[in-house]
Amino acid sequence: MKVAIIGGGISGVSVAFKLSKLKDKGVEITLFESSSRLGGTIETVHKDGYDIEAGTNGFLNSKPFTLEIFTEAGLADKLVRSEDSARKRFIQRDNKLVRLPETGLAFLKSPLISMKGKLRLAVEFFVKKGSSADESLADFIKRRLGVEALDYLISPMVSGIFAGNPEKMSINSSFPVIKNLEQEYGGLIKSLLSLKRRKKGNKKAGPGGPGGILLSYQGGMGEAVKDLAKVCVANGVDIKLSSSVDEISKKDDKFTVKVGKEKHQFDKVIVTSPAYCSSVFLEKLDKELSETLLSIPYSPIFVSGLGYDNSDMDDSLNGFGYLIPSKEGRDILGALFTSSMFPAQAPKGKKFLRVLTGGDTKKELMNKTDDELLAVSINSIKDILGVHKDPSFTYTFRYDKAIPQYYVGHGEKVAKIESACSNIGGLYIGGNVLYGIGVNDCTKQSTLIAEKIASEL
């Protein structure tokens, strides 16, 4: 069986690794990546003693998928656990950083939510269960928890994870667990009271925050993808860089993948590239599938890596970082304290952070030049972190289409895509397009696709 994988991000490399273990059963794998490197938005640049991440800074060990893959690949010893300080997460309110409370008592004492807002949260117990129909995340949170909870708890979290707009995002597709808790237990507080098993788990959240410990990789996440790819090659995977797929067609149960003037035939095709890329080369195969993929919107992101001497900043950067509610009226989404989470990613005696700008709520900012956005990032943190001087080190990344957005109605698009793939037969859509944008979401889909193909041998 010959399998083509299109897209060399963490999803493509992960499914390649999983399938490479089937080479003794006659599975041959070719991975096509349009750029000259692997990783997609996962990229680590090494410069002047800094490891600068373009995208994610790691993954949580609370879900098994990514950890399992690196363990199976013999790379688990290179995983790096974040410092305990990464537990501390902050939200900006009234131009001050307020630590996100981790316990009920801490929440009651916290100034993050007013007393009126806290009382509204308590009323959630009596709010009637909504229908199972899709709704925006904002509508769901306002209905169950109130406007203040949306503004100062959910909105900044959504900015940090999706760079998204809660007014547009689908609760069913973006946060299905929360919606399911309402449907199963009648409410969020009721679900907490019912799920006694949670008391038997970890009583304290790990350094990754709620849900596990944040893990990275020696040299950064970009090195993780490179090393996993090396294992794939050792297992017989043919990785073709700078190989942009132009067109896919199918005849007599065989796919033809056209790359420039070359044509390759395969029995199965796994697509892990961004939706807007996939739509182009899938148009001939299935026009409706192509149009559905193209209809999935993406949010832009500008990342500024900023290095400072310790004496240039009052704030100790002792934590994971901070996020900014839209209501605060800042141009940036927040900042991640890299030198606190992973000290090895910055030179000794330096403070290093990454500032995030753009997102689905601030798209207009992306009309600025890179230098202008860098200046926005630098100026936006000065008062909050007590910065006295300009950074001694800077590095930036721009992604005009960074993260897929699961708007209300995304589930209908997923159903259409699933139906099209089923009708075509042998075509699989992976990556972060359909079911989740995190590293663990991507590796989960890669694992499920590999298992599906293995079951058909």
Domain boundaries, the chain: 2-36+224-296+407-455, 103-200, 298-404
Out of 17-21, 48-52, 80-84, 204-208, which region has the weakest mean confidence (pLDDT)? 204-208
Beta strand pairing status for 268-271 and 2-6? parallel
pLDDT digit string (tens) for 93-124?
Answer: 999 999 999 888 889 899 999 999 999 999 99
% of the chain surpassing 70 pLDDT: 96
Place 200 in a pLDDT band, splitting at 50, 70 and 90. low
Q: What Rg do the C-alpha atoms of the chain give, in angstroms?
A: 23
pLDDT digit string (tens) for 369-393?
Answer: 999 999 999 999 999 999 999 999 9
Place 209 in a pLDDT band, splitting at 50, 70 and 90. very low
Q: Does the pLDDT at position 297 exceed 80?
A: yes
Place 354 in a pLDDT band, splitting at 50, 70 and 90. very high
Do residues 208 and 202 make contact, with C-beta atoms less than 8 angstroms apart?
A: no
Mean pLDDT of 424-434: 97
What local confidence, expressed as pLDDT, does residue 207 receive? 39
Q: Does the pLDDT at position 210 exceed 70?
A: no
What local confidence, expressed as pLDDT, does residue 91 receive? 96
The mean pLDDT of the chain is 94
Burial status of residue 329 (CB atoms within 10 A of its CB: 0-12, 13-18, 19 or more): exposed
What local confidence, expressed as pLDDT, does residue 198 receive? 53
Q: How far apart are the first and last CA of the chain?
A: 8
What 3 state SS string does the chain have?
Answer: CEEEEECCEHHHHHHHHHHHCCHHHCCEEEEECCCCCCECCCCEEEECCEEEECCCCCEECCCHHHHHHHHHCCCHHHEEECCHHHHCEEEEECCEEEECCCCHHHHHHCCCCCHHHHHHHHHHHHCCCCCCCCCEHHHHHHHHCCHHHHHHHHHHHHHHHCCCCCCCEEHHHHCHHHHHHHHHHCCHHHHHHHCHHHHHCCCCCECCECCCCEEEECCCHHHHHHHHHHHHHHCCCEEECCCCCCEEEEECCEEEEEECCEEEEECEEEECCCHHHHHHHCCCCCHHHHHHHHCCCEEEEEEEEEEEEHHHECCCCCCCEEECCHHHCCCEEEEECHHHHCHHHCCCCEEEEEEEEECCCCHHHHHCCHHHHHHHHHHHHHHHHCECCCCCEEEEEEEEEEEECCECCHHHHHHHHHHHHHHHCCEEECCCCCCCCCHHHHHHHHHHHHHHHHHCC
Q: Does the pLDDT at position 201 exceed 50?
A: no
Q: Does the pLDDT at position 85 exceed 90?
A: no
Mean pLDDT of 323-336: 94
How far apart are the C-alpha atoms of 316 and 58, rounded to whole Å? 22
Q: Does the pLDDT at position 203 exceed 50?
A: no
What local confidence, expressed as pLDDT, does residue 30 receive? 98
Q: Does the pLDDT at position 409 exceed 60?
A: yes
Place 138 in a pLDDT band, splitting at 50, 70 and 90. very high
% of the chain surpassing 90 pLDDT: 91
For 123, the token pair is: 């009323």
The residues, ordered by sequence, that sit 6+ positions from 5 with a Cβ below 8 Å of its Cβ are 12, 15, 16, 29, 30, 31, 32, 270, 272
Q: Does the pLDDT at position 26 exceed 70?
A: yes
pLDDT digit string (tens) for 141-174?
Answer: 999 999 999 999 999 999 888 999 999 999 999 9
Place 5 in a pLDDT band, splitting at 50, 70 and 90. very high
Q: CATH 2.60.120.10: does it fit domain 298-404?
A: no
Its CATH architecture, for the domain 103-200, is Orthogonal Bundle (1.10)
Burial status of residue 5 (CB atoms within 10 A of its CB: 0-12, 13-18, 19 or more): buried
Overall fold of domain 2-36+224-296+407-455: FAD/NAD(P)-binding domain (3.50.50)
